[in-house]
Amino acid sequence: MKETPKAVIVGAGISGLVCAIALQRQNISVRVLEQADTLAPVGAGLSLWPNALHALGALGLSDAVTAAGARLRRGEIRQADGRVLSSMDTAGLAARTGMPCVMIHRAALHGLLLQALAPDTVSTGQTAESVVAAGGEGTPARLRLHSGEELEADILIAADGANSRIRRQLWPASDLVYRGYTAWRGIVRAPHSARLGESGESWGRGCRFGWSAVDHERIYWFATANQPAGETVGGEARLSRLQTLFGDWHAPIPTLLEATPAEDILQNDIHDLPPLASWHRGRTVLLGDAAHPTTPNLGQGACMGIESALVLARQLDRHTSPEAAFKAFFQQRHKRVTGVMLQSRRIGAAGQWSSPAACWLRNRLASVIPSRLSEWQLDRLVQGFTLP
C-alpha cells in the first residue's frame, strides 16, 4: 500500500488553510502550525474577485463565502471633494465570469476555512524556528520549532506571511521593500442597506481613502499616506492623525472615522518583494505572501494566495515527487503573480503622488479613460487564472 505523504504547513493564514483543505481532499496528511496561541477573529476587509471565487469553488466553498460577505455591484474613484472621476460596473464583471465580486471580513473567511478542515489539523502556539534540512532526493524536510521539537515532513510549505522566517533563512537576500506609504484599516458597524454593493476610493495628494461593505452590518475602510517607514502612533493619536488628514473629505469619510474606536484601527506599512528566481529548496516551498507579497492596490493579494494554494495542491497531486511539483508550481504561477505585483505597485505609486501637477494629470486621465477599457483590463486579470 502506498504510504500517505505527510505535509507540514507553517502559518494558518488564508493561503495556508486553503492549501491544507485541498491537500486533505487529495489524501495527503496535513498538519498546520500557527504561532499565535489562539485563532482569534482579527483583521479587516478582504476583496475576493471572481478568480478567487472560482478557486474556492473548486473546493465547494464559493457559495458559503459569498453568503458571508457582501457582493460588489459598483465601484467609484473620487476626488477628496467627492467629484466622481471614474466608475466601474462590477456586476457586469460577475455576469461575464460566472462569479461575483465579494468583500468579506478576514475573520469570516478564516472561520469558514477552518470549518472545512479535518478536526485538529491546526496546532496553535507553534513557532517555526528554522529549517534544519530542506529535504530532497527521497529525504524529508526537517523543521525545528521554538520549543526545540523537530518535525519531519515529505512536504514543507512556508505560508508564514510577507515577513516569512523560512524565506529569510533559505533566501537571505529576499528583503521586503518599503513603498513609501503606510495604511490604516478599520471596521465600522452601521446599517448601510442603501449603499450595499457599492465601494469607493478617493484620491488626495499623497493620501487615499477607500471603503466598502463586508456584510449586511459592517463597513470596511482603509486609508493611506506617504510617510517614513516605522512611523506609527497608537490609540487616540492614531485617530487624530486620520481626522487631520481626512476630516474635511467628502461623506461618508468623516463619519466612518468618527464611528471607529481608536483602539480598533490597524496600521501597517506597505511593502512588497522583488520577484524571486525560485520558490523552493528541496522539499520546502514558499506559498502566498511568503513567496509573492503584493501591495493592496488591486485588491488581489488574498486572491493570488488562494489561487497559488490550489495550484500547489493540484501540482502535488499530479507529480510523483514534491520537487517536480514545486518546479511546475513555480512555472505556472510566477509570471501571473509577478505581473499582478508590478501592476499593483504602479497603481499604488500613482495613487500616492503628491505633486499638484502630477495629481491633476492623474485625475484628468482617470476621468477621460472609458470605463469599458478599465473593465476590459479587469476582465483580463480575473480571467487569467487556470487550474493545472
Would you give per-residue pLDDT tens digits along the chain (388 residues)? 345 669 999 999 999 999 999 999 999 999 999 999 988 777 889 999 999 999 999 999 999 999 999 999 888 999 999 999 998 888 888 888 899 999 999 999 999 999 999 999 999 999 999 999 998 888 999 999 999 999 999 999 999 999 999 999 999 999 999 999 999 999 998 755 546 567 899 999 999 999 999 988 899 999 999 999 999 888 899 999 999 999 999 999 999 999 999 999 999 999 999 999 999 999 999 999 999 999 999 999 999 999 999 999 999 999 989 999 999 999 999 999 999 999 999 999 999 999 999 999 999 999 998 888 888 888 888 888 888 7
Tell me the C-alpha distance between 370 and 85, whole Å. Answer: 11
Phi, psi of 254 (to 5 degrees): -60, -35
8 Å CB contact between 21 and 60: no
Beta bridge partners of 75: 88, 199
Angle at 207 between CA 264 and CA 193, to 5 degrees: 55
Amino acid occupying residue 112: L
Query: What grid cell was written down for 340?
Result: 499582478
Concatenate the DSSP letters of all residues of 54-78 into one string.
HHHHTTT-HHHHHHHSEE--EEEEE
Tell me the C-alpha distance between 110 and 302, whole Å. Answer: 12
The CA dihedral of 115, 116, 119, 125, to the nearest 10 degrees, is -70
Concatenate the DSSP letters of all residues of 27-44 into one string.
T-EEEEEESSSS------
Check residue 95 and give its pLDDT. 87
- Give burial (CB, 10 Å; 0-12/13-18/19+) of 338: middle
- Give burial (CB, 10 Å; 0-12/13-18/19+) of 4: exposed
Among the four given CATH numbers 3.20.20.140, 3.50.50.60, 3.40.630.30, 2.70.98.60, the one describing domain 6-46+60-70+106-176+274-364: 3.50.50.60
Contacts of 259 (CB under 8 A, 6+ apart): 188, 189, 190
Q: How far is CA 354 from CA 23, 80, 225, 232, 348, in A?
A: 46, 13, 10, 20, 12
**For the chain, what are the domain ranges?**
6-46+60-70+106-176+274-364
8 Å CB contact between 188 and 260: yes
8 Å CB contact between 159 and 16: yes
Tell me the C-alpha distance between 131 and 150, whole Å. Answer: 9
Provide the whole-model pTM. Answer: 0.95
Check residue 122 and give its pLDDT. 96
Check residue 195 and give its pLDDT. 61
Residue 315: strand, helix, or coil: helix
Tens of pLDDT, residues 168-221: 999 999 999 999 999 999 999 875 554 656 789 999 999 999 999 998 889 999
